[in-house]
Amino acid sequence: MKSWFLAARPKTLPAAIVPVWVGSAPALFSEKGGSWFLFLCTLFSCICIQIATNLFNDAIDDRKGADTKKRLGPRRVTATGLISSKAVMIGALWFCLAAALFSMPLIQERGWPIVGIGLVSLFFSYGYTGGPWPLAYRGMGEVFVIVFFGFIAVIGSYFVQTGEWREPLIWIVGLQCGLYSCVLIAINNLRDIEEDRETGKITLAVRFGKTFARWEIAFFSLMPVALWYFVGDLSWRFGVYCMALFFFNFRILGGIFRNEPGKKYNRYLALGAAQLMVFALFFTRWLIWDR
């Protein structure tokens, strides 16, 4: 069980939880009120897709030789022999099935658009690292994250609650979530740049180098704060929000610009996940008291 817990990569789950929360919160805290049942179904479906993606990634990276003894991040269960590749792939398929089952009430409520979103999400849970054109091996990981962990997850969650998707606020918040989630994948790719280069995994960090990767992380970290201008009211509270998020920015950016890629980067990954969750907290605070 401990090995399966490791394979699920629980530290990555904020990237699945936060978009669903911020997409649902405007309805849940509105005068009309949203559906907490639909929120939970959306949340569990997205978590299952995230875990399935992690399991597919674990097994496929091992088959392609992308996880080696030089790995600086957490252990991978397939590469270290804790669980067989076949078992991990079957586990991923079970989580895909669970995601589909949790989505049934969403389909009943909102119809075929949810089917389309679900099928595309399930396909790319495998296609991120598998298939004939794996996104993670072609420098498309950041685009994938912005689209799926930003726009689709946030706007899709809002659509489940309201039946609407044109609300400008939700598009802005979706972009913010996607950018903050990109901080995680970009730090991960910079940390693993040498291993990825040797194994043929062409991430943006490998393609354009360490300097580009560091400034990419800076952009992903700072741009969401600038986007608060379009969401907040520029009151003193807005300044407090920005200062708190800048704390994470300075810690993360100071670390990656001062230090060469190594195990120390795992600390910056943890700060990136915390930054994403604090963003969700501030957004909720703004919805309830400031909006």
CATH at residue 203 = 1.10.600
HSE of 62, CA atoms in CB hemisphere, 13 A: 20
> Are 13 and 60 contacting, i.e. CB atoms less than 8 angstroms apart?
no
Rounded to the nearest 10 degrees, the angle between the axes of helix 210-227 and helix 168-191 is 160
Structural domain harbouring 199: 2-290
Rounded to an integer, what distance in angstroms lies between the CA atom of residue 197 and that of residue 193? 6
Q: Which two tokens stand for residue 271?
A: 């700060």
Q: Which amino acid is at 33?
A: G
pLDDT in tens, the chain (291 residues): 788 888 888 888 999 999 999 999 999 998 878 999 999 999 999 999 999 999 999 888 878 776 665 666 677 788 888 889 899 999 999 999 999 999 999 999 999 999 999 999 999 899 988 877 888 888 899 999 999 999 999 999 999 999 999 899 999 999 999 999 999 999 999 999 988 888 888 999 999 999 999 999 999 999 998 888 777 666 667 777 778 888 899 999 999 999 999 889 999 999 999 999 999 998 998 888 766
Measuring CA to CA, which residue among 70, 45, 54 is closest to residue 7? 54
Compute CA distances 35 → 23, 58, 156, 160, 161, whole Å. Answer: 12, 35, 14, 9, 7
> Are 244 and 282 contacting, i.e. CB atoms less than 8 angstroms apart?
yes
Compute CA distances 207 → 112, 195, 200, 210, 211, whole Å. Answer: 39, 13, 11, 9, 11
Rounded to an integer, what distance in angstroms lies between the CA atom of residue 86 and that of residue 276? 33
Q: How many domains, in total, are found in the chain?
A: 1
pLDDT of residue 71: 63
Number of CB atoms found within 10 A of residue 37's CB:
10
pLDDT of residue 255: 94
pTM of the entire predicted model? 0.91
Q: Which two tokens stand for residue 191?
A: 């940390």
Residues ≥6 apart with Cβ < 8 Å to 7? 54, 55, 58, 76, 77, 78, 82, 83, 88, 91
CA dihedral 74, 97, 130, 90 (to 10 degrees): 70
Rounded to an integer, what distance in angstroms lies between the CA atom of residue 10 and that of residue 2? 12
Helix extents (H) in 132-228 = 141-145, 153-162, 168-191, 193-199, 204-208, 210-227
